[in-house]
A and B are shown apart, each in its own frame.
Chain A
Amino acid sequence: MTGAGEGLSADDVALFTARAEAARPPSQKLPPGQWAKKNLFDGFANIIFTLVFGFAGLAVLFFLAVWVIDADYEIVRRNLRIFMIGQFPKNELWRPAVSLLVVMAGVGFTSGALARNAHDLALEQDLPTEKSSWVSLIRRFWAVIAVVIFFVSFARTLTPYLLVAGAFALLVAGRELGWAINAAVRARAIYIGATIFLLSMLVIAGTSSLGGLSLGLITLFWVAGEVGRRDLPGGVVGLTIRWGIALVAAIVVYAIEVAIPYDGFGWENWGGLHITLFTTVLGISLGMPFGILLALGRKSDLPVMKTASVLFIEFIRGVPLISLLLFSNLMLPLFLPIDFERPADLTLTIVVITGFSAAYIAEIVRGGLQAVPKGQTEAAQASGMSAGSVQRLIVLPQALRAVIPAMVGQFIALFKDTTLLQIIGILEFLRVTDVANVQPDFLGKGLAPVTYLFVALGYWAFAYTMSKESRRLETKLGVGVR
């Protein structure tokens, strides 16, 4: 059995698809008459298929189009802000605005820098490469761009238009900067991206505890990263020094930050599309380190580690997310010490979602670990590397590179799963439809389908674009082709 035998969902099969499609001969251009004959009217059965399905498809599209054009979008127009950021206090709207601008600049910068890194690597190895043109980027991200324009077209004031334009401008500028900046900075692109994301979280939440958390995490990764670049003794000693310094620095920053009292308002008021995207990003990025640890644990020969990892992974994967969310809401607070206040619902949820994605990421990473040829490990051992170094420097980088597309798949899955937050009463993107439909002006007007259309398009655009990107990455990384 191949790696696919271990059951990594549809992603493995997607590899086969990518491989098979790459191997296909390029299609020939036929004149329209011949093309129609070959593709539409080739034989009796084909003619029937073409007529029946063609008619049915056109009919569905026609009625859908008529309905979409005819529908009354006032409910969306009036509730646009709730759909986007939930019940964020009205006089603090600069926070999400600034946060959006910061994040877009960060996304632009990181993607530009990563693209340039890949570009340079390809040049080094004499592979064909070129900078993606803006036209090709627009073609790749058309769905998200179209939906953002669709969404913003419901705005009743100028501010959202300006905000989106500004965000787009910063995205472009960030990308160009990331592409142009020197290699030393580009090598730290991921850290910079994560820092910017956490800073945006600080801006939007603005409480000392959340601020301390985000700044502490930033410090942890930066210090660990920078110390890791120095020559350290190998093995446990090096690891201890590296993470010890990082941890101390992070705790100091956290303590300083928390000692400064200032008050934003945590994340109790978050909602809408913002909470959906935020929970997804945070769930995956927090789940990643735990997932990798679990995967290594599951591959380990040590029974304690192996049993614990297997139990955790199989338990989480065996129960539906709803039951875990019910657990987070009704039971998780019961495990806290008695003098602890109950944390915000979102905090509880993120704890559970982190564990949830960790279990799934662990299985993905395990598939990647299996794909690394045994010769790699053996060669590394033969050259006298310690067990830890073999994993950290040889096996994991290759395994993680191989599973990037599957990881994007997990990201999409979690993005869709965040709809379940409504079951425990969090005002995520989908639940805004419920809230909007009971407002006195819209109650009983049968406008629910309009809101569902709006929401479904939002989910679709993001998920569709990401799945396209993951397939593109697959081909580009040559996963499964080697």
Chain B
Amino acid sequence: MRKHWILRLVAVFLGFTLLAAACGNDSSDGDAVEQDGGDTGGDTGGDGGDTGGDTGGDTGGDTGEDGGEDTVDLVQGGSVLAKVQDAGVVECGGNDTLPGFGIVDADGAFSGFDIDFCGVIAAAVLGDASAVNVTPLLAAQRFPTLQSGEIDVLIRNTTWTASRDGNEQANFLHTTFYDGQGFMVRDDSSIATLADANNASICVLTGTTTLLNLNAVLADRGIAFTPVTFESNDELNPAFQAGQCEVWTSDASQLAAFAATMDIPTRILPEIISKEPLGPVVADGDTQWAQVVNWATMATIQAWEFGINQENLSSFTDSEDTNIRRFLGLPIVDGDGNESIAEVGLGLPTDFAWNIIEQVGNYEDIFNRNLAGIGLTLAGSPNDLWTNGGLQYVPPFR
């Protein structure tokens, strides 16, 4: 018996030693790995930056494919543009339960404002607006999914903020929709301005910037409130209609969208407490892809500014305006009678704008197709063209 005891003790001791040794090795291994990883990360970042600079600077004559291949070696994991061209499809992160912006219709196809911009990118890069594969994402999944490379671009009502640009390794591009956080109440409510909402219960989505804004602004103004939080609008909407909360705060566009479908009359309060610029997002580290997505998106607005839309596009083949001809990728005859087609070196086909307008439409087409039906008007809103007093202004296409 006694001997067994000693044996057991020795065994346990030995086990401990072994384990300690193993752990010791483990942690030093771990350190080494971390260091290596750090180096790799730094290098890659540098390369990525370089690549971006090069491509932007001197690829004037390069075709899209060349641009793609050039960057394959330089950017870790390959360039997204080359990947998209290779796969023949744009992987787009979207929404499937946000009226007007991203829903699934009865045919099982995605539709909506955000989804159309996925189509814009596909039309620009691949010449086929239907070559899109939409992955519906929950709010919490957005950035991890973007980082993992599972999606090429995220267009899902995502607000551009500094911390997201920084901490989430995301690259926010041209704003497709200027929104702001507003408040909605029932028409018969006693609340006329935000100050009346003291002690009210307020319905709000979690995992969004909305809740953060709400907390900050109402605390500043000394307004007490009870937050009633929800995962998604299709849970919040019935709760508001049933009167579970008196106030619904969200992006003003969404409030208008839901209000249009409600049986009960509602009012939007005068206060807009935040800036919510929504637009496409790509992962950090691939400047070329970011430019492609950016210019494809902006082409819809440029077309609108030129007055080119889906219906009248074909009439522009004879346009005399050099800017329009250059924009649409039509041959330009110079003083010597030589025909040439403008090439801006973005890695996009020369007729990308034509494809976008033909297959998806200009900004106004997209807006009216998806958002007019849910009660939003373009004219006079922040999303109107700068020439009409709105905020939509894009750099020149030349």
A touching B, CB within 8 angstroms: yes
Number of contacting residues on B, CB 8 A?
Answer: 34
- Please judge, given known A-B contacts A342-B149, A425-B137, A444-B262, whether A90 and B99 are in contact too, CB under 8 Å: no
Task: Kindly state whether residue B108 has any CB partner on chain A within 8 Å.
Answer: yes
Residues of A within 8 A of B262 (CB): 444
User: What are some 26 contacts across the A-B interface (CB < 8 A)?
Assistant: A82-B106, A86-B108, A87-B104, A87-B109, A87-B110, A88-B108, A90-B107, A268-B135, A342-B150, A424-B138, A424-B141, A425-B136, A434-B234, A435-B96, A436-B106, A437-B234, A438-B97, A438-B103, A439-B103, A439-B104, A439-B106, A444-B261, A444-B262, A444-B263, A446-B238, A448-B238
4 additional A-B residue pairs with CB within 8 Å, beyond A424-B138, A438-B233, A444-B258: A86-B108, A90-B108, A427-B136, A443-B258
Which residues, 207 to 240 on B, are CB-close (under 8 Å) to A? Answer: 232-234, 237-238
Which residues on A sit within 8 Å (CB–CB) of B109?
Answer: 87, 90
Which of B133, B141, B234, B374 is the one whose CB lies under 8 Å from A425? B141
Q: Mark A430-468, 1 if CB is under 8 A from B, else 0.
A: 000011111111011110100000000000000000000
Alpha-carbon gap, A446 to B263, bound state (A): 10
| Chain B residues in 8 Å Cβ range of A424 | 138, 141
Is the C-beta of B206 less than 8 angstroms from some C-beta in chain A?
A: no
CB distance from B86 to the nearest CB of A (A): 13
What is the 8 Å Cβ interface bit string for chain B, positions 136-149, against chain A (1 contact, 0 not)? 11100100100011
**In the assembled complex, how far is the CB of residue A261 from the closest CB belonging to chain B, in whole angstroms?**
14
B98 beta carbon closer than 8 Å to chain A? yes
Q: In the bound complex, how far is the Cα of B135 from the Cα of A341, in angstroms?
A: 16
| Residues of chain B with a CB closer than 8 A to A82's CB | 104, 106, 108
Using known A-B contacts A439-B103, A448-B238, determine if residue A342 contacts B148 with beta carbons closer than 8 Å. yes
* Chain A residues bordering chain B, tally (CB within 8 A): 30
Let me know if A330 is at the binding interface, CB within 8 A.
Answer: yes
Residues of B within 8 A of A140 (CB): none
A81 at the interface (CB under 8 A from B): yes
A435 and B144 within 8 A (CB): no
Q: Mostly helix, strand, loop or mixed at chain B's interface?
A: mixed
A81 neighbours in B (Cβ, 8 Å):
106-108
Pairwise interchain contact B141-A329, C-beta atoms closer than 8 A: yes
Q: Are B106 and A79 in contact (CB under 8 A)?
A: yes
Taking CB atoms, residues of chain A closer than 8 Å to B238 are 446, 448
Roughly how many angstroms separate A425 CA and B96 CA in the complex, as a whole number? Answer: 9
- Would A425 and B138 be within 8 Å (CB), given that A330-B144, A438-B234, A443-B99 are in contact? yes
A427: which B residues are within 8 A, CB to CB?
96, 104, 136
**Chain B residue at minimal CB-CB distance from A79:** B106
Q: In the assembled complex, which residues on chain B have CB atoms less than 8 Å from the CB atom of A441? A: 106
In the assembled complex, B241 has its CB within 8 A of some CB on chain A? yes
Answer whether residue A78 sits at the interface, using C-beta atoms and an 8 A cutoff: yes
Quick check: A435 and B104 within 8 Å, CB to CB? yes
Contact assessment for B99 and A268 in the assembled complex, using a CB-CB cutoff below 8 Å: no
Residues of chain B within 8 A (CB-CB) of A90 are 107-109
Residues of A within 8 A of B137 (CB): 425
A85 to chain B: closest CB distance in Å?
Answer: 8
